[in-house]
Amino acid sequence: MKLNLPALHFALMALAAPSAAFATLGGDVSTLQADREQMKASAPAIRKTTGYAVHEMTTTGGTTVREYANSAGTVFAVAWNGPHIPNLRQLLGPYFDTYTTGASAKHVGHTHLSIRQDSLVVRASGHMRAFSGTAYVPKLMPPGISEQEIK
């Protein structure tokens, strides 16, 4: 079996990341205050749009995390950008195993990771001190939202 070094890099960085707690993908947004305190992040800025809200926090390390919650309060997508990859095990929650399985598959390029499955879509890229990514659960997305809105 040939190793896919970019995917392995993203998976290892995710596991080695500090253990900050976030509302997990597919989970309830009610944990945001505890998340902010755990991360020592800025107070979440909340931007409401039709059908969903975006909760944005910036960690003391400079990484911005956005959690997209539908009107029922379920986190259907997450996005991040900054100098550090957030703890993807915590951020992706029950979808982390799907992510690691997809990340171990062959990918094109050294700095990009793309996973597109029925249960999870992940796009991640980056290099030292400049990482970004998005992950979402297609079946949880509110009607009318496109994947381009998750950034």
Give the model confidence (pLDDT) of 19-74 as tens digits: 344 568 998 887 766 666 766 677 778 999 888 999 998 988 899 999 999 999 99
Distance CA 33, CA 76 (A): 18
Predicted pLDDT at 83? 95
Residue span of the structural domain in which 48 resides: 5-149
Total count of domains within the chain: 1
The tokens of 13 are what? Answer: 């960085």
Beta-bridge partner residues of 78: 67, 135
Q: Using the 8-state DSSP alphabet, how is residue 80 labeled?
A: E
Whether the predicted pLDDT of 9 surpasses 60: no
Predicted pLDDT at 38? 66
CB atoms within 10 A of CB 60: 10
Residues 6 or more apart whose Cβ sits within 8 Å of residue 110: 5, 6
Predicted pLDDT at 138? 96
Predicted pLDDT at 1? 42
| pTM (two decimals) | 0.79
Q: Which of 55, 77, 93 is nearest to 135 (CA)?
A: 77
Q: What is the mean pLDDT of the chain?
A: 80
Cα distances (angstroms) measured from residue 93 to each of 39, 96, 97, 100: 17, 6, 9, 12
